Amino acid sequence: MIRARALERRFGEKRVFRGLDLDVAERDFLVVTGPNGSGKSTLLALCAGLLAPTRGELEVRASRERIGYLAHEPLVYRELSAFENLDLYGRLYRIPERRERIGMLLERFGLWDARHERVSALSRGMQQRLALCRALLHEPELLLLDEPYAGLDEAGALLLDGELAALGGSRTCLVATHDPARVAGLATSSLALV
C-alpha cells in the first residue's frame, strides 16, 4: 500500500527526516512513534499527498478519496455545526445515503445530541470525536491518524479503541502516537522516528 525509499523532507533549512525506507502492506497496522519534531505528522501528511517529498520516492497505492486523514486540527469549520460539517464532506465524497451514514457515526461517537451545535461551542474532546467521524465518513481504505487519542477522555479513548479494533485487519492504518502501548495489541509493525 505504501512504499518509501530514501525519503527526505525539509522545511527550509530544517530537515525533518532523511533516508527513510518504509513498506506498509495492505491491512497492516503501523504505529509511528518518536519525540516531538521527529516527523511523525510530516510522514502522515506526505502519505496523504498534502506535502511532497524533498527527495526520495514515495508511492501510496490509494487514491485521495480512499484516504482518511486525521490531523492535529479537526479540519472542520468552527461556525458550522457538527452535522453541517459532515454533510459538506459527505456531499464532496459523494457518499450514498449520506444522512444515514452521518447519523450513524454521530451516534456511535456520542455526538448525536450535539449535532446541531457549532463546532466552536464543542469541547476539545468532542471536536476530536468529530474529526474522527470526518476521517471515517467515507469508509477509507487507508487511515492516517495523527495522535488520534489527543483530547479524548477515557470514554472517548475506549470508544476509539473499539473502532480501531474493528478497523484493524480490514483497513491499512498508520497511527502516529506518543502512547504506543494503547495500540500495541493492534499493531502489525512499528516505526520509531528519531
Partner 1 sequence: MTYLADIAALARKDLLLELRSRDTVPAMVLFVVSALVVFNFSLPADSGDLAAYGLLWVAIVFTALLGLTRAFVAEREQRVLDGLVLTPADRSTIWIGKGIAVLAFLLLAEVVALPAFALFFEPVDATLVAAVLLADVGLAAVGTLLAAMAAASRARELLLPLLFLPLVIPIVVGGVGASVDDDPARYLGFLVLYDLIFAILSWASFEYVVTE
Q: Which residues bind partner 1 (CB under 8 A)?
A: 45, 48-52, 63-65, 67, 69, 71, 73-80, 84, 88-89, 91-94, 118, 134
- Strand 55-60 and strand 2-11: the pairing is antiparallel
DSSP string, 105-157: HHHHTT-GGGTTSBGGGS-HHHHHHHHHHHHHTT--SEEEEESTTTT--HHHH
- In the complex, minimum distance from the CB of residue 85 to partner 1, in angstroms, rounded to a whole number: 9
Of residues 14 and 154, the one with the C-beta less far from partner 1: 14
Give the closest residue to 117 by CA, choosing from 87, 83, 81, 85: 81
Of residues 5 and 64, the one with the C-beta less far from partner 1: 64
Of residues 75 and 157, the one with the C-beta less far from partner 1: 75
- In the complex, minimum distance from the CB of residue 158 to partner 1, in angstroms, rounded to a whole number: 26
Task: Kindly state the cell numbers that stand for 186.
Answer: 493492534
Measured distance CA(17)–CA(39) in Å, rounded:
6
- In the complex, minimum distance from the CB of residue 64 to partner 1, in angstroms, rounded to a whole number: 5
Of residues 92 and 158, the one with the C-beta less far from partner 1: 92
Of residues 69 and 109, the one with the C-beta less far from partner 1: 69
Q: HSE-up of 165 (CA within 13 Å, CB side)?
A: 9
- In the complex, minimum distance from the CB of residue 18 to partner 1, in angstroms, rounded to a whole number: 18
- In the complex, minimum distance from the CB of residue 87 to partner 1, in angstroms, rounded to a whole number: 8
